[in-house]
């Protein structure tokens, strides 16, 4: 069947791309996740010595000139450069020929912040040298929708094109909304995902001022520790994750390899607080239930959850309560891991990178671990797959993402046989 019971089209995942602190492609990122290897280290992108937090998940070995050319490196933001690289990988992986169907291929790429280093550089130039020192490329380079625009220019995709901004839920929303375009038959395929490059002096200082970041500077690889009683904040990461979503019928007709099917999407609001989730995780719970309802699945069908799992005291306990409330008695039997323990929190790109990882977990029937989980917080009492991954049957997985402002998104992803 190429349509769901309500007449809407099925959505296939046919391509994956990733540039993360764990590797410069999807394969190396997944290999690091499988082995439980951390990508967190001392910051090298700038001198972080004056800051309370001096660690982050940087993308290492990324050659921006090879992606956009020497001339364009200073005219494009790092988040755009990372996005273009991940999108190229995803399109190549999918084998999709865009040119003949360009009008029906879209790009929905999210960023929570956009080109932060471009804005920071412009403010410094204005302060030190006056308005004549501000680059004419500052505004187009820094805005959050530019990665989507540049990917369209790079790939020739001429369909729907925009950015979704919902803080740390941004790219999960982008993927969910992209799936809706395909499901309605208004796009044949969409390059969907997110990108972020917020490891700058103002980016780290801003989250430091909120006391949101871990200050375990002497043990960077052990600093991101979701659900552990000794967690002291999240660790910022950077990178990009991309998926090619395609109508099932079109993918099958061209003989594409189908990794998985995006079967459900739930989006809700906490309507509670600008940064803190409600104690009971109600908004997160409702996003999970909405995704399952849209997928036509029961709570007992869930085999794995890629958790938002930020390593902050408030999020991890609230998310635990949300999963319990959503899944009921089944919650304790479902493996649930936070790969942020390895790659850090990629902010607006988190949901996309974690969706890529979730798809690969389904492909390999393997649950990646939550590393650095030595002694669980008493309020975090589910199966978080501590420190070592495991083989498991995964027919249906959820990937959860929550953002400042009370934004919640949940993606339900099934195996290519429909789970």
Question: Which residue among 173, 250, 308, 343 is the active-site one?
Answer: 308
Catalytic residue among 173, 250, 343, 345: 345
Rounded Cα–Cα distance for residues 364 and 287 (Å): 26
Query: Tokens in use for 364?
Result: 């390999």
Q: Six-digit token pair at 85?
A: 């690289």
Tokens describing residue 10: 């099925």
**Residue 343 a catalytic site member:** no
Token pair of 382 as six digits:
């589910």
Please list, in sequence order, all residues whose beta carbon lies within 8 angstroms of the beta carbon of residue 336, skipping any fewer than 6 positions away.
Answer: 304, 305, 306, 307, 323, 382, 383, 384, 385
Is 345 annotated in the active site?
Answer: yes
Task: Supply 281's token pair.
Answer: 């995780």
Reply yes or no on whether 308 is catalytic. Answer: yes
> How far apart (Å, rounded) are the C-alpha atoms in residues 174 and 182?
12
Q: How far apart are CA 414 and CA 363, in angstroms?
A: 10
Q: Which secondary-structure segment (H or E) carries 139?
A: helix 138-142
User: Beta-strand (E) ranges in 253-387?
Assistant: 260-269, 304-306, 336-337, 366-367
Rounded Cα distance between 196 and 44, Å, is 17
Choose the catalytic residue: 33, 168, 380, 410: 168
CA–CA dist 211, 93 (Å, integer): 40
Active site (catalytic) residues: 168, 308, 345
């Amino acid at each position: 069947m190429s349509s769901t019971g309500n007449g809407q089209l099925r959505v296939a995942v046919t391509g994956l791309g990733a540039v993360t602190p764990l590797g410069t492609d999807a394969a190396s990122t997944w290999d690091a996740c499988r082995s439980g290897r951390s990508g967190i280290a001392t910051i090298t992108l700038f001198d972080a010595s004056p800051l309370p937090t001096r660690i982050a998940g940087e993308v290492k070995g990324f050659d921006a000139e090879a992606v956009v050319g020497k001339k364009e490196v200073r005219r494009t933001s790092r988040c755009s450069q990372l996005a273009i690289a991940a999108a190229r990988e995803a399109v190549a992986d999918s084998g999709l020929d865009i040119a003949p169907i360009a009008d029906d291929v879209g790009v929905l790429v999210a960023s929570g912040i956009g080109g932060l280093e471009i804005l920071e550089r412009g403010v410094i130039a204005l302060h030190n040298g006056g308005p004549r020192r501000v680059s004419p490329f500052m505004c187009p380079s820094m805005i959050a929708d530019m990665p989507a625009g540049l990917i369209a220019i790079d790939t020739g995709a001429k369909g729907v094109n925009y950015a979704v901004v919902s803080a740390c839920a941004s790219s999960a929303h982008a993927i969910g909304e992209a799936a809706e375009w395909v499901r309605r038959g208004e796009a044949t395929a969409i390059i969907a995902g997110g990108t972020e490059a917020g490891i700058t002096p103002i980016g780290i200082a801003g989250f430091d001022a909120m006391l949101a970041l871990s200050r375990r500077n002497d043990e960077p690889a052990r600093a991101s520790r979701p659900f552990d009683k000794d967690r002291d904040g999240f660790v910022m990461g950077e990178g990009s994750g991309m998926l090619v979503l395609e109508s099932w019928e079109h993918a099958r007709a061209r003989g594409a390899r189908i990794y998985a099917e995006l079967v459900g999407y739930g989006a809700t609001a906490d309507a509670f607080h600008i940064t803190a989730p409600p104690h009971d995780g109600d908004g997160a719970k409702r996003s999970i239930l909405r995704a399952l309802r849209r997928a036509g699945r029961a709570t007992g069908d869930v085999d794995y959850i890629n958790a938002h799992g930020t390593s902050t005291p408030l999020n991890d306990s609230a998310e635990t309560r949300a999963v319990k409330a959503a899944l009921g008695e089944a919650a304790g039997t479902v493996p649930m891991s936070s790969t942020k323990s390895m790659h850090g929190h990629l902010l607006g790109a988190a949901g996309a990178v974690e969706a890529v990882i979730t798809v690969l977990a389904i492909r390999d029937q393997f649950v990646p671990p939550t590393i650095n989980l030595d002694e669980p917080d008493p309020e975090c009492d589910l199966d978080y797959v501590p420190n070592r991954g495991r083989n498991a049957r995964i027919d249906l997985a959820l990937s959860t993402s929550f953002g400042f402002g009370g934004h919640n998104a949940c993606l339900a992803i099934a195996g290519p046989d429909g789970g």
